[in-house]
Amino acid sequence: MVPELNEIMNICIQLFTSSFVLLLSLIMFSSSALALDLNDIIHLAISRDAKFQADRLRAEAKNADGWQSVAGYGPTLSVSGTYMESRDSTDPQNSSEVEGRVAHFQEPGLTIGLEQPVIDLEKASNVMRGKSEMAVAELLLKKSREELLLRVHERY
C-alpha cells in the first residue's frame, strides 16, 4: 500500500510542478511584448509538461513491448560460418620428396537457416496480445494529449 501512496504523491508533485511552470511561463510571456497565441502555448506545454512526457514515454515502452511480441512470431534467421586452415608437412631426408609431402587444407563453410513456424498457438496468442498492447499505447498517448490540451484550454 505504501509504494502506491508514494507513486500517487510523485504524480501529484509532477503535476503541480508542471502546472506551476506552465502558469509561470504564461505570466512571463503575457506581460512581455511577445504575445503567445494558443498554438504556441500548446506546443510549449507539450514540450515541457512532465506528466505528458512521462505518459508519452510509458506509451512508447508499451508500444515497444507490443512490437517485441509481434516480432516473436516472425521467421527466425540464423547465420553461422566456419573457416579452418591447416598445413601438414614432414621433414624428409631428401629434398626431392618435399614437394609431395607438404599439404595445405582450407575448409570454409557458411550455414544460413530460416525457420518459420506453421502453426504455433502460443506465439499467435502473443501476437494478438502484442497488437492489443500497441493499440492501448496509442490510446493512452491520445488520452494524455487530450488531458493536456484540456488543461491548457482551461487556463488560457
Per residue in 5-19, pLDDT tens? Answer: 677 777 777 777 777
Report d(CA 58, CA 14) in Å as an integer. Answer: 15
pTM over 0.85: no
**What is the CA 6 to chain-centroid distance, rounded?**
27
The model's pLDDT over 30-59, given as tens digits with 9 standing for 90+, comes to: 555 456 788 888 888 888 888 999 999 999
Q: Name beta bridge partners: 82.
A: 109
Evaluate if residue 20 carries a pLDDT over 60. Answer: yes
